[in-house]
Amino acid sequence: MLTPQEIKEKQAWRSMGLKDQEYERICEFLGRLPNYTELGMYSVLWSEHCSYKHSRHLFKLFPTKGERVLIGPGENAGAIDIGDGLAIVMKVESHNHPSAIEPYQGAATGVGGILRDIFTMGARPIASLNSLRFGDPRDENVRRLVRGAVAGIGDYGNATGVPTVGGEISFADCYRGNCLVNAMSVGLVRHELLTRATASGVGNPVMVVGSTTGRDGIHGATFASAEFSEEDEGELPIVQAGDPFTETLLIEACLELIESGVVVGIQDMGAAGLTSSSAEMASKAGSGIEMDLTVVPQRDEGMSSYEIMLSESQERMLVIPKAGAEDQVKAIFEKWGLHAVVVGRVTDDGMLRVFHHGEVAAEVPAKSLSTDGAPSYVPEAKRPEYLDELWSFDFNQLEDLKQEEIQDAFWKLLASPNIVSRRWIWEQFDQHAQLRTLVGPGSDAAVLRLPGTKRGIAITVDCNGRYCYQNPRVGAAQAVAEAARNIYASGGKPIAITDGLNLGNPEKPEIYWQLKETVQGIAEACEALGTPVTGGNVSLYNETDGEAIYPTPIIGMLGLLEDAEKHATIGFKNKGDLILLVGENKDELSGSEFLTVQHGLVAGPGPELDLELEKRNGEFCRSLIEKGLVSSCHDISDGGLAIALAECAMAGKLGARVKLYCPERRDSLLFGESQARYVVSLPEENYDALRGLAEKQGVSISLLGRVEGEEFTVELGEEKVISTRVSEMLDLWSSGLERLLGEE
């Protein structure tokens, strides 16, 4: 390793992703030149991935408090009170760059990492979801990435016994060189067992527990904070390898340890490994930590202090137990076949001091490594010029669909990569482990029962990146609104979100403007809908050869059902039921899947958004479900009204006869993506009660038709424009993704 003087002469910090002024800042903190291990520690913790140095100043815009928020941003995950002394712990985390290199392990370790964030809080993980973005699925490399990522998610989740109950996937050219793999996990915990990541109590032991430490994943955090380029090949870090069976043992050992009452603090070793866990825990407590790396269990021979401190080997935790409880901790972990080794102690001097083979390998102020010490930048913001072209598009120049063209357009949309069934994906996941799942993948939101109570939770992830590209602020707000519609349509009341902000390089003024607008949009929607932000993740520098992805703020949302049995799903249930539209169709095509599929266009500012209307229509649908007035409920999103109706028919394997009247354009009526809309079905005898509630609550409803047997027909005026059998739609739609991926 280079000496401190050689580091200075060769400007070695640059290869670690540090700026010249950041190196100078490190020298000021230390009052001397840093050695190689110390420089590596700063480089990972001051990376964007760990310090959010270009984004954290924006987070003050988020509403983070509420009557149900027990723990907000700043811990491993947020905790939300759901009554009866129970809390839900949840978080979204990205693993984009590793998945682009090695999709199976990148996605698998993404799942493992987010699970550790949950049980570190003392919560048992009860559900996982995922949000994925890829390029054109007909591209062979994209197919490789999809297959690998889906298999990694499925294999890791299935092996740990945590059901994967929902998720979403989208395809667009902008993700070709930079796929997105975001994982969400949800846990359940009693209030009194909620645990924080803090290293307090001078003299308390510091223990490494779980798996051994190897050379995998070194500088993973720095790598996740940089753009891709073709020139990077051969300089990429080794992606971490996950072991779900060890993770399963670790879950049980950690939960048993927390139940024992001897834990002062506990932190998983995610990005930056031992460096981040020790520095963050000490910084939060205002304490220091001394560690001897020589005794850290290692799987590779001859590891240096630099390698041990920066390793991102999986399935490891840092535990601060009460003094005197060391043997108890060891006994619990030995019972589960895992390591538990005392590697140091808590001190009162605020220093992170690391020994290796009897020598001081690093000695730095703990707070200087944390976000308290990390630099913070407010880049220049500039509205992108591409928006002028998008927003000035004249939709009047588009010729409306002729009546005889509508059926072909319908089939094209039904076969679109962004609309076809995701069955091929979710069939690889265990959806029913732990026996809590009432509604799994394929509906608007997953619904889980909670033990010992009538209550249930609804959970979903959502985002339309195209909307965000067209208008980052409104598009981000729409991601929150869409997630809320999924919750409302399932019978839940939205109560909190976690987010994963995926964007390009924030040092570019146009990208920073997108980031700023995205945060403001989420904040506005969360204020309007009463869903505080409990935490999340930022993944920036998602670019390849200078081309950025769409701004993609993934929204994970939690909803609460007072009675879990009073939930809804999307499928039509009974022949003869009436079909109603809740909300109003608008004459708009901007941002629609139809516009992209039919015309090859992304144009306009995206669909209009009215957050007050979103809440009013959503609460109305929730009340219908709670009162048992409707048989099914489905929000209208990608593909518009015609596709939503088809999805209801296919899910229920029942047809429908729908009659519409078209005052303006046919294409926008059938395939436009106006917001705040739902399709509901109900017995005819409930119609008067529903109509009365709609009038009382100021909600617009329209009668569309009836549920029928095997035929699915849509009429405009007196002419059938879509006419098919449900079985024909299912043949095309249900195996569409397999065909696109070449899996048939």
Give the residue from 665, 667, 664 showing the smallest Cα distance to 722.
Answer: 667
- What is the spatial distance between Cα 23 and Cα 27, in angstroms, rounded to a whole number? 6
Pairing status of strand 205-210 against strand 339-347:
antiparallel
- What is the spatial distance between Cα 660 and Cα 725, in angstroms, rounded to a whole number? 19
DSSP conformation letters of 628-658: T--SEEEE--TTHHHHHHHHHHHHHT-EEEE
In the Cβ-directed half-sphere of 459, how many Cα atoms lie within 13 Å? 34
Cα dist. 176→547, 594, 638, 718 in Å?
Answer: 10, 21, 21, 44
Give the E-state strand segments of 503-601 in sequence order: 533-539, 543-544, 547-548, 552-561, 578-582
- What is the spatial distance between Cα 99 and Cα 132, in angstroms, rounded to a whole number? 11
Whether 497 and 531 have beta carbons less than 8 Å apart is answered as yes
Provide the token pair at 346: 């808590």
**Cα torsion angle, 52, 54, 57, 62, sign:** negative
- What is the spatial distance between Cα 189 and Cα 86, in angstroms, rounded to a whole number? 6
Question: Quick one: angle between helices 726-733 and 640-652, nearest 10?
Answer: 100
- What is the spatial distance between Cα 277 and Cα 279, in angstroms, rounded to a whole number? 6
State the burial class of residue 289 (Cβ atoms within 10 Å of its Cβ: 0-12, 13-18, 19+). buried
Pairing status of strand 124-134 against strand 180-190:
antiparallel
Report the SS3 class of residue 579: strand
DSSP label at 370?
Answer: S
Biggest CA–CA distance in the chain, Å, is 88
Provide the token pair at 271: 């990005």
Q: In what order do the strands lie in the sheet with 124-134?
A: 69-71, 78-83, 86-94, 180-190, 124-134, 164-171
- Give the CA angle between residues 55, 43, 517 to the nearest 5°: 10
Q: Exactly one of 49, 54, 356, 634 is catalytic; name it.
A: 49
Residue owning tokens 């004249």: 394
- What is the spatial distance between Cα 124 and Cα 189, in angstroms, rounded to a whole number? 6
Catalytic, 49? Answer yes
- Give the CA angle between residues 425, 429, 432 to the nearest 5°: 135
DSSP label at 385?
Answer: T
Residue 318: strand pairing partners: 208, 267
Q: How many CB atoms lie within 10 A of CB 379?
A: 17
- What is the spatial distance between Cα 311 and Cα 540, in angstroms, rounded to a whole number? 22
DSSP conformation letters of 442-461: TBSSEEEE-TTSS-EEEEEE
- What is the spatial distance between Cα 685 and Cα 2, in angstroms, rounded to a whole number? 81
Phi, psi of 664 (to 5 degrees): -125, -120
Phi, psi of 317 (to 5 degrees): -135, 155
Provide the token pair at 640: 């518009």
Q: Which residues of 300-311 are buried (b: 16+ CB within 10 A; e: fewer)?
A: eeebbbbbbbbb
Report the SS3 class of residue 475: helix
- What is the spatial distance between Cα 533 and Cα 649, in angstroms, rounded to a whole number? 35
Catalytic, 95? Answer yes
Q: In 52-102, where does DSSP find H-type helix? A: 96-101
Report the SS3 class of residue 340: strand
Q: Exactly one of 95, 219, 356, 567 is catalytic; name it.
A: 95
Residues labelled as active-site residues: 49, 95
